[in-house]
Amino acid sequence: MNRINLSELTEDEFKARIASGQTMKLGDINAALALLHVDGSNLVELGIDTREECGAIHIESADFRLLCSALVLHIHALSATYKHRHG
């Protein structure tokens, strides 16, 4: 599957993806993550392409699985670091 980089789309292409439900807003992402919470800078740090429209941060809906995988890897790295420091 080819990933779509929202930042590379024209304004019309981006708005068409929003209108057709092919993006997720930050609020939708956090609702889906339940106990976890991310913000726009977290998404960028995790390597997730974002784009803002009318004050809302969007990602490609198809990238939600990639986001979950990136969070798992990040949490695993934190766990290993903590275990190393605290035995």
CB 87 within 8 A of CB 49: no
pLDDT tens-place string over residues 45-87? 999 999 999 999 999 999 999 999 999 999 999 888 877 666 6
pLDDT at 65: 96
How far, CA to CA in Å, does 1 sit from each of 43, 57, 62?
Answer: 21, 23, 10
Q: Where are the domains of the chain?
A: 6-86
